[in-house]
Every structure is written in C-alpha cells, then in structure tokens.
A and B are shown apart, each in its own frame.
Chain A
Amino acid sequence: MKLTGAQALVKALELEGINTIFGYPGAAICPFYDALLDSTITHILTRNEQGAAHAASGYSRVTGKTGVCVATSGPGATNLITGIATAYSDSIPMVAITGQVSLDLIGRDVFQEVDITGATAPFCKHNYLVKDIKQLPRIIKEAFHIAATGRPGPVLIDVPFDIQTQSIDFIYPNAVDIKGYKPNYKGHPQQIKRIAEAISKSKSPVICAGGGVISAKASEIMTRLAEKCGIPVVTTLMGKGAIRGDHPLNLGMLGSHGVYAANYAVDKTDLLILIGARVGDRALGTAETIAQRAKIIHIDIDPAEIGKNVSTAIPVVGDAKLILEDLYNTIQAADTSEWICRVQELSGKKVEIDDSNSDTVNPRILISMLSKRLDEEAIMATEVGQNQIWAANNFIARKPGAFITSGGLGTMGYGLPAAIGAKLGKPESTVVVVCGDGSFQMSMPELGTLMQTGIGVKILIFNNSRLGMVRELQKNRHNGRYSQVFLDSPDFVKLAEAYGFKAEKITKDTQIEAALDRFLEDDKTYVLECVVDPEEPTN
C-alpha cells in the first residue's frame, strides 16, 4: 500500500507490537503526529522530552518490551540525550524517533537543526539518519531488532521532514540481515562444563546477579540453580529483583552502598559467579582484589564486558537464561551448608536503629514499613541519591522488574517519569516512586503528565533540604566544606494540590503508620512528603 513516510513509521510501530509511546511534538515531526491520529497507538504527552525518554525506560523495565519515545528536531532531540544515555548505561531496550529538517537543508544551520546522530553516537547501540525513503522500513525493522536483542540498548532514528512527507510502497520486512551484528546466545559447552566443575568444588560460592539477569528473564532459573547448589546470591543495584528480596539465599545489595552480609560474602568467597553484571565500580570496585583471592566466573551476553574491569578465570559469552538452563542440568552441588549458615546469620542481623529522640522521619523505617504493605505486584521506582540507596536497601523486591532505578548513569529526574511509564506498563500494579527534594524538583513538571493521564502514582519525597548524597561526600572528603548542597523547596503539598492530587507532610516516625494508610488507600496519586534529618547517613 502507498503510505507517506510518516504513515509508514506509525504502521511499523504497530507491526512491532508497540501500543504506548511517549513524546512531545514540534515542527519537524508534525507529519508523524498527524499520522498518529489515525492509529490505535496511545501517545503520552510529557512535559519535557527527557521525561518522555525516562518514561519509555520505566515502561520497558516493567513490561520487558522496547520503550519508544518521540521528539522533534533541534532542542526536542537534544532534550532526549540524557534519557538515551541513561538507557544506554543500564542496557534498556529503547527506540527514539526524532524529526529532522529536510535533507537539502541539513548542514545549513536552519531553525531547530542539530546533528543528533553525531551527538548520540557515544550512547546509542546504533543510530540512523534516514536519507532515502525506500530504506525506511528496513531501518525501522533493524532499529527494533538491535534495541531488543543481544545486550539491549537505545537506538535512535532521525527522520527528515521531507522523508516523512514522501510516499512509498510500504512493505515491512520479515527479517533483518545485519552483517556486523550477530549476537551469540548459546554459551560454549566446554566453558559451561568448566563452570559446573568449579561449582562442584567450591565450599563458599556466591552469585552476583546484575541487571542482565532481569533482561534475560533468567531470574527463575537462577533462583532454582542457587537453591539446587546452595549458593547465596548478592545483587547489584540493577540486579535488585533478580532474586526475590525475601528469599533465604538473598544476601542483599553489594558494593559501596550495599549491606554488610553481601559485601562479606563477596570478600570471603572462593568462587564469584557474575551473571549479567558489568563489574561497575560502585558494586565491584574491589574486583581486582577479589580476583586475587577467588576464582571469577563471568557470564555475560556482551563479550566486551568480559575482562574489561576484572580478570576472569572462566568467561562465558551468551544469554544468561540459556546458559543457566544448560548448567542446571549438568551441575552437581558441593556441600556449602556451613558457608550458608555463616552468611545467613550475618544477613539476619538487624541493625539497631535508635530513633527514640528524633523529630524527623527515618527513611529506612518508612521504606521498610511501606514494603511490608505492598503486594507481590508492586513496583518501586527511585530517584537518585540517598533516597535511592535507602529504597534499595529496605524495599523487598518480590519480582524482577519490581525495582526500577537509574543505576549506571545515576540520572536525577529519572524517578517520576519512569514511574509514570511503569504504571502505564502495568496499570494493575501499585507504583511508588521514592524521591529526594532535589531530584523531585528536577522532573517536577511531569506532575502535569501524571495529572493529564489520570493514572495513580504514589510519590514519596524525602525532604532534608539538601542534596544529600553530595552533602555526605563533601562532609567526608572536603572536610565538611559544603558547597551548593543547600536546597530550598516549594510547599510540596500545596504544589500537589495545585495538580489536583491528595498530599500530606509528616515529620515523625510515629506518624508513619497512619500516613501510609492514607497513602495506599486507593489507586489515585498521593504525595507523601517526609521531613528527614539533613545529617541522616546513606548507609
């Protein structure tokens, strides 16, 4: 059938099974927005293009589908950059579509023209500038293929205005053939045998599960393997939810902001099994030291990650789910009961929180109490900073995809739009977003998106009138010379009410129970501001 480029773009999205996209129109992308009117695709108008990208990311993280965001040329496209880089760092499958000025105008600095493909090349798996309308169907097919396969990531398609208005005989390809892109999914059988051997000999093994376990949908097989062999599991920030938070073998998050039991296990292990983790410096900054004491196994779909940050004894490139399934069948467990006893004891030790004299809210207590009230399907999104760590260490993630956060890039402003995307992806789930006063102000305008969609997101704001994480860094490393970490905020309750949301502010732990009752009462948006001690430590 004869379609314009814009119509072809919309049709291709439909054929890819996309039913929700996030974006913001503009001159250069107008033909696309016109074609969108005749489609069944739901478009969510955000208040900033960065919000559209983060929303697409949150949507993707809870549904497992590829998130789609759309923006116009120039500033619309550049506003997507942080969102794209955030998705790149955390390997989230995403396709970003940007309008561009007409082909004959490119390079002449016309209105709202930028070289977005050049600008995003460092943080995309790949990007395309469509120069020939006959290539458009192939390009879209390839873009979705690249975004969702291998190590997932963002792909950008830059579509010039004249391409959107030209016509084409639209045929959507059935398959792609990209010479330079053929990910390897099946792990080398010899390597898998070596892993099985190493596990059978190990007295104190530990699995470190990263975001890749969730991407590969390998949570279930990993959990069964851990149970079969008696191997405790630690997770990175991105891996939270890879194993049930309350599973007896889960020791919690490792790393500079992790919990003691997890770090102890990784420090004392004789066999560290990394699965879908990239050995980020926050999680495994001491990797080289660990490598000197323990044998390291690295299972990852991206060959470039293996050997990048730590020397590996047994590397296996492939899909985590397939590899673990292969492993499960052949493995013979060793006796690790003594080791498990030891680490579980540490894990069970509750840190005494002396809060009797405080006239502020203890964020850990609040998250803990909230977590207990949330059900199996609940999703927690976080902002970045102290709030993120308090959430990570106190929220019980019961399923993969229950915890969404910006791990690799640590982008403030991620939380609220990502939560909106998550709620739209899983409307039946309760979605909570944990923010700080600083990070909330970065994407506060997306309250407008929330209001317009009518969906309900539970917003928690830990207000300590500080950029907390940076304050702590300055206290520890700069002798308490505080530079620009004092933050004034508006009356968040009044602000929420201006958008038509219910809201309240609490200042004491004794108020938590009743506040949470109101917070979770129905499925409508509720903003709960909690005053937190500015000196509250992260860990």
Chain B
Amino acid sequence: MAKHTLSVLVENRSGVLSRVAGLFSRRGFNIDSLAVGVTENLEVSRMTIVVDGDEYTVEQVSKQLNKLIDVIKIRALIPTDSVSRELALIKVNATAATRSEIVQIVEIFRAKIVDVSKNALTVEISGGTEKVAALEEMLKQFGIKEIVRTGTIAIERGNKYIKAGSTEE
C-alpha cells in the first residue's frame, strides 16, 4: 500500500476536522496521519493528510473530500517535489552510564535534548519520516518510555503555492 500526501485547504470553522475525519471513516479510507493549522489567511486552514492506499483510493479520497462544502482546494503532493516534516518528542531511559552515548546519537541526528532527569532524557527531533524513524530505531536499545508525534506536514518545492483563491506562481 502506497502512502500519498494530500494538502487540503479548508474553511477555518469548528466542525471541519470532524467532517473530514467522519468522511474517511465511513468511506473506509485509512488515514496514516493528519495535521491541521491556520494558514496565512485566517479564514482558511490547511490540513496535511497522509493516506494509505492505491491509485483508485486516492482518487476517490480527493473526489469525496472535494464534495465537502468546507473543503476549498486539494493538492496531491509528489514526494520528490515536496518537503515533508514531522516532529517527535521521545522520552528515553538514560542513566549516568548511558547518557553520553545517547547525547552523541542525538548530536549525530542534529536533534535536541529538551529535558533531562535522573533516569530519562527527552529528545526533540524534526525531520522527514525516515529520519525520525531512524532515530527512534537507534534509541530503542535504551528503552523508549514514551513517544509523542505530530502528523506530517508538507509543502511543495519551488515557486508554486496553494491558496484559496488561486494556484501557481
């Protein structure tokens, strides 16, 4: 099953998130992740949705989303032509013995340590999905207490932009 990233501009109103989520659930589409935030235009929010599925599924997802009155515009982002990021906070076991090794790994990944205590370190990392997964993999050996992740957000490369009224440069 391939993953597809959709950038969806929606009206910034209460209930919109619920409508989108409801649509996915009743049509049987799989949401891998969903992130939403207001755009440069306060009346418009942008959702970045990562969908699990084949070509037919993604086409239907887009078409059904477009039917929602609150959905203004949809763009499928091409992985090679966009930048995508997610943020994770990882709380990992860290004693005096293991602390420096963990700090080294964190430096190599250019991540940050945002909290330290007697038995744990909290690491903040932002990056592409693979990078975050790789750090998680490296930290597993120490014992991960907790991971909190945001959804993926993504933006097209180059001059193009997606706006409620128009697209392109």
Report whether B69 and A181 are in contact in the complex, using a CB–CB cutoff of 8 Å.
yes
CA distance A179 to B43 in the complex (A): 11
Pick the contact of B18: A121, A146, A179, A303 (CB < 8 A).
Answer: A121
Collect the chain A residues with CB atoms within 8 Å of residue B56's CB.
307
Collect the chain A residues with CB atoms within 8 Å of residue B63's CB.
303-304, 308
Tally A residues with Cβ within 8 Å of B: 17
Q: Which of A78-107 contact B (CB under 8 A)?
A: none
Whether A240 is near chain B, meaning CB under 8 Å from some CB there, is no
Least Cβ–Cβ distance between A145 and chain B, in angstroms = 10
Whether A423 is near chain B, meaning CB under 8 Å from some CB there, is no
Whether A454 is near chain B, meaning CB under 8 Å from some CB there, is no
Report whether B26 and A122 are in contact in the complex, using a CB–CB cutoff of 8 Å.
yes
Report whether A302 and B69 are in contact in the complex, using a CB–CB cutoff of 8 Å.
no
Which residue in chain A gives the minimum CB-CB distance to B68?
A: A180
Q: Which of B64-116 contact A (CB under 8 A)?
A: 64, 66-73
Pick the contact of B11: A117, A180, A308 (CB < 8 A).
Answer: A180
Pick the contact of B66: A125, A126, A129, A304 (CB < 8 A).
Answer: A304
Given A122-B26, A179-B11, A180-B72, A303 contacting B164 (CB threshold 8 A): no
Given A304-B63, A304-B64, A180 contacting B70 (CB threshold 8 A): yes
Pick the contact of A179: B26, B67, B72 (CB < 8 A).
Answer: B72
CA distance A220 to B10 in the complex (A): 39
Least Cβ–Cβ distance between A202 and chain B, in angstroms = 27
- A117, A122, A125, A180 — most chain B CB neighbours (10 Å): A180
Whether B3 is near chain A, meaning CB under 8 Å from some CB there, is no
Least Cβ–Cβ distance between A308 and chain B, in angstroms = 6
Q: List 8 A-B contacts (CB under 8 A).
A: A121-B18, A121-B19, A122-B22, A126-B69, A180-B10, A180-B70, A180-B73, A304-B63
| Residues of A participating in the B interface, judged by any CB pair closer than 8 Å | 117-118, 121-122, 125-126, 129, 146, 178-181, 302-304, 307-308
| Residues of B participating in the A interface, judged by any CB pair closer than 8 Å | 10-11, 15, 18-19, 22, 26, 44, 56, 59-60, 63-64, 66-73, 164
Given contacts A129-B15, A307-B60, 19 further A-B contacts (CB under 8 A): A118-B18, A121-B22, A122-B26, A125-B67, A126-B69, A126-B70, A146-B69, A179-B72, A179-B164, A180-B10, A180-B11, A180-B68, A180-B69, A180-B71, A180-B73, A181-B69, A304-B66, A307-B56, A308-B60
